Amino acid sequence: MSTALVDRDASVSEVEETTAETGIQSFLVTFIIRRFNPEVDEEPRWVDYDVEVYSTDRVLDALHKIKWEVDGSLTFRRSCAHGICGSDAMRINGRNRLACKTLIKDLDISKPIYVEAIKGLPLEKDLVVDMEPFFAAYRDVKPFLIADSKPEAGKERIQSVVERERFDDTTKCILCAACTSSCPVFWTDGQYFGPAAIVNAHRFIFDSRDDAGDVRLDILNDKEGVWRCRTTFNCTEACPRGIEVTKAIAEVKQAVLRGR
């Protein structure tokens, strides 16, 4: 394991000074990050960094500090930093999470915090993976409204509260891939649609305004579709939006067998 360290003694004094000035608790935390540069590395390697963080900081804040103050070559994705864009999904202490929603104080800071790229997708550099296979599966399930008829001029397609509630949970998906990349089947079978694609199919299959539910069910009634799910609940546990992913997959299975 290679090492990139901040001066620990200097950091401790700075921590004490900063805490006294701001009144916000700060502490020194070790991050061990799985690094990979395809231009120079044959295999990924672990690099550790000691970082001064505050009790209000998230893992994303620590990654910013490393990149901006210690090692500018560290590569990761992020955009909104508020749990909406879904671009900073990564494995933190062995669990898929969004770096922007993971408070450091909620982790065990008495031990190093391990950070690595999500699994099951081709690693490009450091914490960045190639998302194209993920989005290809998403596109395959036709994740958009398909209606055979047009609404009356100047009118919307009417939907009751009950009809909306039928698929409300699966509208929350932000396409972060945390669920799909936590799935053991997806790790070992590159052809499996994956939980996120099925969740987004569910969102339209059960939408009363949509007329292509049967088309999507035919797509998912495939050896690489819903029947590859082994109901391990990894996806549900990994979802940062709290979607009941396993339940949605089960409902699609029932719809394949019995219709909507």
pLDDT of residue 259: 77
In whole angstroms, what is the distance from residue 243 CA to residue 193 CA?
18
Domain that holds residue 90: 2-128
- Give the count of beta carbons closer than 10 Å to the beta carbon of residue 22: 10
pLDDT of residue 234: 97
Residues 108 and 39 in one domain: yes
The domain spanning residue 234 has which CATH number? 1.10.1060.10
Write the secondary structure of the chain as one string of H (helix), E (strand) and C (coil). Answer: CEECCCCHHHHHHHHHHHHHHHCCCEEEEEEEEEECCCCCCCCCEEEEEEEEEECCCEHHHHHHHHHHHHCCCCCCCCCCCCCCCCCCEEEECCEEEEHHHCEHHHCCCCCCEEEECCCCCCEEECCEECCHHHHHHHHHCCCCCCCCCCCCCCCCCCCCHHHHHCCHHHHHCCCCCCCHHHCHHHHHCCCCCCHHHHHHHHHHHCCCCCCCHHHHHHHHCCCCCHHHCCCCCHHHHHCCCCCCHHHHHHHHHHHHHHCC
Residues 91 and 144 in one domain: no
Residues 238 and 155 in one domain: yes
Indicate the residue among 72, 99, 128 that finishes a domain: 128
pLDDT of residue 23: 72
Residues 7 and 112 in one domain: yes
Residues 92 and 144 in one domain: no
pLDDT of residue 22: 65
Residues 73 and 179 in one domain: no
The domain spanning residue 89 has which CATH number? 3.10.20.30
Residues 238 and 163 in one domain: yes
Residues 145 and 204 in one domain: yes
The pTM for the full model equals 0.88
Residues 151 and 208 in one domain: yes
In whole angstroms, what is the distance from residue 130 CA to residue 4 CA?
27
Indicate the residue among 108, 128, 148 that finishes a domain: 128
pLDDT tens digits, one per residue of 6-54:
444 444 445 445 555 667 888 999 999 999 999 999 999 999 999 999 9
How many Cα atoms occupy the beta-carbon half-sphere of 206 within 13 Å? 23
Residues 254 and 138 in one domain: yes
pLDDT of residue 165: 97
pLDDT of residue 55: 86
Residues 124 and 181 in one domain: no
Residues 213 and 193 in one domain: yes
Number of domains in the chain: 2
pLDDT tens digits, one per residue of 74-119:
999 999 999 999 999 999 999 999 999 999 999 999 999 999 999 9
Indicate the residue among 74, 99, 128 that finishes a domain: 128
Average pLDDT value for the chain:
92
